[in-house]
Amino acid sequence: MSDLIEQIISPRARDLGDGFKVRRILPFHNRKMVGPFIFFDHFGPVDYAPGQGFDVRPHPHIGLATVTFLFSGAIAHKDTLGSDLVIRPGAVNWMTAGRGICHSERTPPPERAAGQSLHGIQTWVALPEEDAETAPDFVHHPADTLPEFDLGGAQARVLAGTAFGHTSPVEYPHPIWYVGAEAPKGAQFTITADEAVERALYVAEGHASIGGQDVNESELAILVPGTDIPVQIASGSRFMLAGGTPMDSPRLIDWNFVGTDKARIEQAKEDWRRSAEREWIDTPFTLPEGETDYIPLP
């Protein structure tokens, strides 16, 4: 192992339901978070034939923000705030769950009819304790609103926070460092010591090398803090840089809920179960408009 890398994490396959399969990187048994990132999923590339698609039925969240970024394809998002839009490559969907939200993710009708190739990353970032019960929110950031820059030959976008002198318009109440990039002809750059307190590089497609250590496709390299990190990216690669300041305290995850207090998570589970039993009438959770099905509490 290179002395510039603390750990390399390989993915575990997960089925989120309805056949939507992902490679899960975080949380890992001995590495729960990197900065505020508590959850890191990589889906695709998967090809859907005409008439096929995926459907992640309505489900709840508390205590976190979900962040969706696509390399290819499209996803239709609906939530209980009334948000109803399609995310496409290069854009960011940032959904703050706060005290509670419900959303669905599906193949949009045009892509379902025509078929599509879907490939992307979904992460969760924990909310600071003082913001854990904030009102839910959803913001869509089109690709052309996110800073795009050359990173040693790679085409990079700052998805959240400040990185390499560029700042994203995404608002989040904690220091975060998040970049999505692709290198059709390869790239070579240095992650300086002051870029973030905790830092990681994920290879979504292709190959990277750090201090002579290979980082292969679907691997997350946790980088040594406080030092410059030279990185080489192979041609045709796609990669993510993720990290930030450590969260204010450890977090618990149970199903789709994140928190510092087990009792609060148990309450959220009961709220979801009771909301379904009462058919979403005057209940803590409701379904997005037009949705009737949902994912039951496991």
pLDDT beyond 80 at 20: no
pLDDT beyond 90 at 1: no
**Percent of residues, the chain, with pLDDT higher than 70:** 98
pLDDT beyond 80 at 21: no
pLDDT tens for residues 136-183?
999 999 999 999 999 999 999 999 999 999 999 999 999 999 999 999
Please identify which residue in the block is written with the tokens 């406080």: 226
pLDDT tens for residues 213-235?
999 999 999 999 999 999 999 99
pLDDT beyond 60 at 19: no
| pLDDT score at 80 | 98
- Averaged confidence pLDDT in the chain: 95
pTM (two decimals): 0.95
Structural domain spans, the chain? 5-244
| pLDDT score at 14 | 77
Assess if CATH 2.60.120.10 describes domain 5-244.
yes
pLDDT tens for residues 68-124?
999 999 999 999 999 999 999 999 999 999 999 999 999 999 999 999 999 999 999
| pLDDT score at 38 | 97
